Structure 1
Amino acid sequence: MYHAIVRRNLRNSFAEVNRGNYPAVVRQFAPDAEHWFSGSHALAGGRHDAEQIQRWYDRLAEVMPDLRFELKKVVAKGWPWDTVAFVEWVDHLTDREGNHYSNQGVHVLRIKWAKITELHIYCDTALLASVCDALGQQGVTEAVAPPIGHPGPFRAALPAG
């Protein structure tokens, strides 16, 4: 039952992103959560506090205002005090000239007592970097800005098994 609730909550979180309701997503993070995105682009790097995570979602909303996720798989395991979840997705967005883009990837999350303590995002980062470059050429300065937070590796690895 618990894992079904976690999966439902994750589906609802992605639905909030699809509606552009980023404050609802940001509220789900623990105050010292780790938010990390692979690659070398404006959305990459690591954030370790609520202010940086908020700034990242503000940037996401500005850079990709019509971003929509289609969920393929949602998996959760563990206990309420240490849950690991995986969300496999395909996303869709349109640039300022009407060109459509789609990427695929996975979110890996650690959740403790209903708060996200770690989020790691993996996708085709070369594709995402090219989309950011195209958006930058279309005048979206945040699409080519330096990453928010630090560009280095994340603090801790998720547990094996």
Structure 2
Amino acid sequence: MYHAIVRSVVRRTWRKVNTGDYEAAVSMAAPDLRFRFVGDTALGADVRGPEAFRAWFARFTEHLPGVRLRLVDVVAGGWPWNTKVAVWLQVAGTLEDGTPYRNIAMQWVTLRWGRMVDDIVVEDTLKLDAALRRQQRHLLATAQPSGD
């Protein structure tokens, strides 16, 4: 029963995150949360605490506005003081130049008494890097004077 409750809470949280309510995820963070977004990209992170986690979401929306993270599946196991949660996410949206962006991500979370103490997210970094580069090129191109 406990694991069904955890899965339900995770699903509800990701539904909120998918609408842009990132505070739903931040509110689950323990004061000593360690969050890692794996990869050498503008979104790569290894930070601690809810404020740094919130700042990462701000960076995410700055770099990929309109891109959403939809939970596909969730698995939970362990005891309330050391619960492990695996999440499969679909990443989708439209880049600034009109190009569709599709990716997948996996998340591995450790909960302690319902609070997130460790969160690791792995996304296909080649696709992510290509999308971030497209975004950057588009921003640079649209910032150029028209020359009229």
Aligned-residue offset at 1:79: 0.7
Q: After the TM superposition, which segments of 4 or more aligned residues of structure 1 sit over 3 Å from their partners?
A: none
Name the count of aligned residue pairs. 140
SS at match of 1:96: coil
Distance 2:125 2:85 in 1: 21
Match runs of 1:76-91 below 5 Å: 76-91=76-91
1:53 paired with 2:62, answer no
> For residue 130 of structure 1, what is the amino acid of its counterpart?
A
Larger Rg: 2
d(CA) in 2 for partners of 1:45, 1:89: 18
Gaps of 5+ in 1: 141-161
TM-score (norm 1): 0.82
% identical aligned pairs: 32
Q: Secondary structure at the match of 1:42?
A: coil
Q: Deviations over 1:62-112 (max 9, x none)?
A: 222222233332100001110001001221011112110111121000001
Q: Which residue of 1 is the match for residue 146 of structure 2?
A: none
Q: State how 1:31-42 maps to structure 2 within 5 Å.
A: 31-42=31-42
SS at match of 2:139: coil
Task: Give the TM-score, by structure 2 length.
Answer: 0.89
Using CA pairs under 8 Å that are at least 6 residues apart, name the structure with larger relative contact order, 1 or 2. 1
Aligned equivalents of 2:26 and 2:70: distance in 1? 20
- The residue number in structure 2 matching 1:8 is 8
SS where residue 53 of structure 2 aligns? helix
Q: Partner of 1:107 in structure 2?
A: 107
* 1:118 CA displacement: 0.6
**Could you tell me whether the CA contact under 8 Å between 1:31 and 1:49 is conserved in 2?**
yes
Partner of 2:145: none
- Give me the CA root mean square deviation: 1.4
